[in-house]
Amino acid sequence: MEHRPLLEVTGLSAGYGSALALNDVAFSVDEGELLLIVGPNGAGKSTLMRVLMGLHRQNAGQIIFAGTDISEMKPHLRMRLGMALVFEGRGIIRELTVEENLDLARFTQRWNPGLRDESFDRFPILKRTLKRSAGTLSGGEQQMLAIARALETQAKLLLIDEPSLGLAPKIVSFVFELLGELAQEGKTILLVEQRAAQVESLATRAMLMRQGRIEPAPESLEFTEMSFDQYLGNE
Amino acid sequence: MSENVPSFTRVIQAIVDGLMAGSLYALVAVAFSILWASVRTVNLGLLQVSAMGGIIAYSLSANGAVVAILGGVTAAGVVGLLIHFVAIKPFLKKWALLPIVASLGAGLLVRGAVILLFGEQSKRMPQLVPTGTWEMSGVFIRRTGVVVLVVALAFVLVGLYLTARTRIGLAFRASSWNADIAGAYGVDTERVRVGSAFAAAVAVGLAGVLAGVLAGSVHPYMGEDNGLKGLVAMLLGGAGNLPGALLAGLLVGMLESGAGMFISGALKNVVSYGLLFLVMVVKPSGLLKER
């Protein structure tokens, strides 16, 4: 049987005015893998996530998701097709309650009440804070809420943008452990993260992004001579 | 006792009269707030759409109250939507003033069309709802006013319930707080904006019909008074804050009524615009929270 990636991106370019943030980006994500994209600030990682979700217009290129060309598709349709974005900085709506934030996942047809129970099993704090305004949660709790909401959509592909941003080291470890669990459960994940050292062991493959370009990356993470952090000059 | 001394009865009378007028301001304020929350602009054309709603209701009044009211409201909704597509949507991502000015221009076209079709003169509105007056302990309550108050408040409260408790309401609130997140989680934010434009136009149309019923007459310029007071109430309540719009609308109505009764009828407008000025200086986000 012919092997088809879940997400296939070719020749993707996007920018802000005349400044090019993504320049001829091409990569693919296979079903069940955790693809890690690392890169310094301003490399274009978050722009890439926003373009993939349809929140930022692409200038050129093609995005094929689950066999469908979604290049011109609106965000809500991409979500209904099976993509979910965990935004950089959590992306919860602070003014809504925890429950209402979770309920946004119900706008997909795939939602069922059992998914809410799974969220509570995974993140018991959400059950206790259900009626509270999401803005009153701690940073770590907000990240749990954001991930729970994405999981409740039963997305085929999770786009996770800098989940460690602004979190205490202990919470970061918890979040990365959780990502490891999700990867083991067979979830397909595209992860953008600056703290490469802590997540490279979770990834099936990794890519480097600099100045809007995807640089040649090894086929696997079996390159122990130089960590990504060293490569990026973080260490 | 001097007429200017506020006796308890006269205070109650001022409140009752103020609530009736204020319910119309609240209706318009909620309409502007719905638009601000989801579209982030002010559709000044709604002032003329409101007048048009009243005049269409007048023109259909021979067919009975239900047809007249529904006709006026529906026509307002359709024309309001048209203004959204022609004068608001194309300019939303450009200069912020463009949709406001374009909607004002579109509103003037609507008024021109209304004058061409129905004339410029004021027309006596037939009795669409029960008339007469109740007297309770010296306080006079117009039946028409009670109907206007009940209908306007019912519309606003149903709207508030829908936004607070339903899936459509969640889509509206999520879009108004953060359209990107709402869109990424399956909310068709464009549909929410169009729905909001329609709901706002229906609300001002209803306000126009009720204003005609309350005043007993309609004319092509009737949208300005309620419309501008509604805009004042929207800002007072906190732009985009629907409960704030309701409360501020009623407050403006009661303050105006009190000023008219105890100071001078000429001061009615001064009170509402003066209050707006004061609040904008002291608390620019409005009495409740802007969103």
Distance CA B164, CA B246 (A): 15
Q: What pLDDT shows up at residue A221? A: 46
For residue A227, pLDDT beyond 70:
no
B173 neighbourhood in chain A, CB within 8 Å = 95-96, 100
Q: What pLDDT shows up at residue B290? A: 64
Give the A window 112-171 contacts with B, CB below 8 Å.
149, 153
Tens-place pLDDT, residues B239-287: 889 999 999 999 999 999 999 888 888 888 888 888 888 888 888 887 7
User: Would you give the DSSP letter of residue A135?
Assistant: G
Distance CA B289, CA B291 (A): 6
Q: Tell me the mean pLDDT in the region B174-199.
A: 95
Domain boundaries, chain B: 8-282
Higher pLDDT, B197 or B279: B197
Distance CA B103, CA B204 (A): 15
Distance CA B266, CA A195 (A): 68
For strands A188-192 and A34-38, give the pairing: parallel
- Name the phi and psi angles at A92, rounded to 5: -95, 160
B272 close to B234: Cβ distance less than 8 angstroms:
no
B220 close to B118: Cβ distance less than 8 angstroms:
yes
* Three-state DSSP class for residue B234: helix
Long-range Cβ contacts of B112-120 (<8 Å, 24+ apart) = B114/B48, B114/B51, B114/B52, B114/B55, B114/B220, B115/B220, B118/B55, B118/B58, B118/B59, B118/B220, B120/B219, B120/B220
Which residue in chain A is spatially nearest to B188 when comparing CA positions?
A76
* Three-state DSSP class for residue A62: strand
B188 contacts chain A (CB < 8 A): yes
Task: State the pLDDT confidence band at A201, using cuts at 50, 70 and 90.
Answer: confident
Q: What pLDDT shows up at residue A222? A: 45
Distance CA B287, CA B275 (A): 11
What CATH number should be reported for the domain whose range is B8-282? Answer: 1.10.3470
Q: Give exposure, A65-103, as e/b (b: 16+ Cβ within 10 Å).
A: bbeeebbebebbbbbbbbbbbbbbebbbbebbbbebbbb
B181 neighbourhood in chain A, CB within 8 Å = 87, 91-93, 104
B205 close to B71: Cβ distance less than 8 angstroms:
no
Q: What pLDDT shows up at residue A153? A: 94
Query: What mean pLDDT, rounded, does chain A reach?
Result: 88
Tens-place pLDDT, residues A93-134: 999 999 999 999 988 878 888 999 999 999 999 999 999 999
User: Would you give the DSSP letter of residue B267?
Assistant: G
B178 contacts chain A (CB < 8 A): yes
Tens-place pLDDT, residues A163-182: 988 888 888 999 999 999 99
Task: State the pLDDT confidence band at A1, using cuts at 50, 70 and 90.
Answer: very low
Q: Give CA angle at A136 (A131, A142), nearest 5°.
A: 90
Q: What are the residues whose beta carbons fall under 8 Å from the beta carbon of A52, sequence distance 6 or more?
A: A7, A9, A63, A78, A83, A85, A159, A190
Q: Which domains does chain A have, with CATH numbers?
A: 7-232 (3.40.50.300)
Give helix then strand counts, H and E, for chain A: 9, 10
Q: What pLDDT shows up at residue B266? A: 81
Tens-place pLDDT, residues B7-59: 889 999 999 999 999 999 999 999 999 999 999 999 999 999 999 999 999 99
Task: State the pLDDT confidence band at A90, using cuts at 50, 70 and 90.
Answer: confident
For residue A32, pLDDT beyond 60:
yes
For strands A83-86 and B133-136, give the pairing: unpaired
Instruction: Indicate the residue of A74, A79, A95 with minimum beta-carbon distance to B185.
Output: A79
User: Would you give the DSSP letter of residue A91?
Assistant: -
- Mark yes or no for CB contact A76/B170 under 8 Å: no
Tens-place pLDDT, residues B206-246: 999 999 999 999 999 999 988 999 999 999 999 889 999 99
Give the global pTM: 0.87
Which residue in chain A is spatially nearest to B183 when comparing CA positions?
A76
Q: What is the ipTM of this complex?
A: 0.89
Q: Which of A81-90, A221-230, B145-154 has the lowest mean pLDDT?
A: A221-230
Distance CA A81, CA A52 (A): 13
A96 contacts chain B (CB < 8 A): yes
Query: What mean pLDDT, rounded, does chain B reach?
Result: 91
